[in-house]
Amino acid sequence: MDGTAIVVCDDLFATANAKTAHGLVRGTERYRILGVVDGPSAGRDAGETLDGVRRGIPVFATIAEALRTLSARPDFCVVGVATSGGRVTPGLRALLSEAIEAGMSVVNGLHEFLSDDPGLAAAAARKGVTIRDVRKTPPRIELHFWSGDILTVRAPRLAVIGTDCALGKRTTARFLLEACRAVGIATELIYTGQTGWMQGEPFGFVLDSVPNDFVSGELEHAVVSCWNARRPDLILLEGQSALRNPSGPCGSEFLVSARAEGVVLQHAPGRTHYESAEEFGLRIPPVADEIDLIRRYGARTLAVTLNGEGMSPEALRAEQQRLRWGLGIPVIRPLEEGVGALIPVIREFLASQARA
C-alpha cells in the first residue's frame, strides 16, 4: 500500500464521470481511502451514495473540511473523475492546487498531464510532494511488440468485454476476481486502465495511452509477466471501450493478441446507441450479434452481465429473463446480485480448457 488518500470529484461523484472514484470506494490495495471530496454528496457515506453499501468513507464538501475532520493528513489526493476530453477543469485545478499546498502528493488519471503544468509542478517541488500522471507511458524503447510469448502461457484467459464504453467492465472484472479468489481459484487480473493501477493490480498497462503499434505487445507482456510470476489458475483481462463503438473499437486485442478463450460480455440494455455517437444514429447491435462476432474470433461467451442504467429494476429483471431464455447462457446483474452465480460456469470453463 502506497499510503492514505482522499479522492476529489469536482461535484461529479454521483455521476458516471466519477468511475475512478467509484472503483476506489469499492476497493483498492494501493491506497487507504480516508474520504471523498464532493459538494453535492457531502455529509453522506460514499458507499451509501454509490450503491447503498456503507463503507465508512465520509464525503466532505471541501478539502479544508476533510483536513479539519480527519485525524491524519492524507498522503495523496487522487483525481476521481474522467472529464470531457480528459482535460483538467478549472475546478479540479483549484482542488489539486489546494491539496499540494496542504502537503499532499497528487495522483492523476486524466489525459492531460499535471506534471506538465508549470504552476502545479513548481508548487509540488516547493512543497516536496510528487505528481503522478498514471497515463504517462514509459519511453518507447521500453515498450513491447507482440512476440508470440503468449503461446507459453497455460492459464486460461477470460476477458470482460463490452457492447459499449463506460459500462462497468472493470467493476465486473474486479467482482469476478474477488469471487474466484474467495472459492480458491487462484486468479489474477490484468488492468488496462488508470483505475486498475490505482486499485493496486500489479500486472497491466493503461491501454488508451500506449501508441497503437505497441498495444498488442504490452497486453501480451502483461499476461506473460503475470503467468511467469504467479502461475495462476485463471487470468482475467479488463476490457476497454467497446467491440464496435467507432470512437474506440476495442476487443480484438484481447481475443487475438492475448488469446482469450472465454468472454464475459457486459451490456446496458437501456442504451440504444453508442456513447458519444448518438447524433449519428449508430445503434448498438443485438447481444446475440456480438456473441457471434466473439465466436468468429475463436472465443466463447460464458455469460452476459447487465448494467441497468436508465432502467427500472422491474424492466432490468424482465430484460435479464428475456436474454437468458434467448441466449441460453447465464445473464446476471452484478451490482444487484453479485457474480457468485458465475463460479460454476468459470469452473466448467477451466475444466474445458484443461481438456483441450
Task: Supply the pLDDT for residue 152.
Answer: 97
Residue 77 main-chain phi, psi, to 5 deg? -120, 120
Q: Do domains 3-133 and 142-355 have the same CATH topology?
A: yes
pLDDT digits (tens, 9 = 90+) for 41-60: 999 999 999 999 999 999 99
**Measured between alpha carbons, how far is 88 from 213 in angstroms, rounded to an integer?**
27
Task: Supply the pLDDT for residue 355.
Answer: 84
Task: Supply the pLDDT for residue 1.
Answer: 80
CA distances in angstroms from 84 to 88, 90, 110, 352, listed in the order given: 9, 13, 10, 43
Task: Supply the pLDDT for residue 85.
Answer: 84
Residues of the chain predicted below pLDDT 50: none
Right CATH number for 142-355 from 3.40.228.10, 3.40.50.300, 1.10.730.10, 3.40.50.460?
3.40.50.300
Between helix 169-182 and helix 19-26 the angle, nearest 10°, is 10
**Measured between alpha carbons, how far is 42 from 21 in angstroms, rounded to an integer?**
14
Burial of 81 (0-12, 13-18, 19+ CB in 10 A): buried
Task: Supply the pLDDT for residue 42.
Answer: 97
Cell of 128: 516536496
Three-class DSSP category at 286: coil
**Measured between alpha carbons, how far is 256 from 298 in angstroms, rounded to an integer?**
8
| CATH of region 3-133 | 3.40.50.720
Task: Supply the pLDDT for residue 78.
Answer: 98
Task: Provide the pairing of β-strand 131-133 with 203-204.
Answer: unpaired
Question: How long is the chain?
Answer: 356
Cβ count within 10 A of residue 311? 17
Residues 6+ apart with CB under 8 A from 218: 143, 144, 205, 207, 210
Domain ranges of the chain: 3-133, 142-355
* One-character DSSP codes across 200-242: T-SEE--GGGS-HHHHHHHHHHHHHHHHHHH--SEEEEE--SB
Of 242, 288, 241, 266, the C-alpha closest to 339 is 266
Task: Supply the pLDDT for residue 92.
Answer: 95
pLDDT digits (tens, 9 = 90+) for 169-182: 999 999 999 999 99
The position carrying cell 497491466 is: 204
pLDDT digits (tens, 9 = 90+) for 282-337: 999 999 999 999 999 999 999 999 999 999 999 999 999 999 999 999 999 999 99
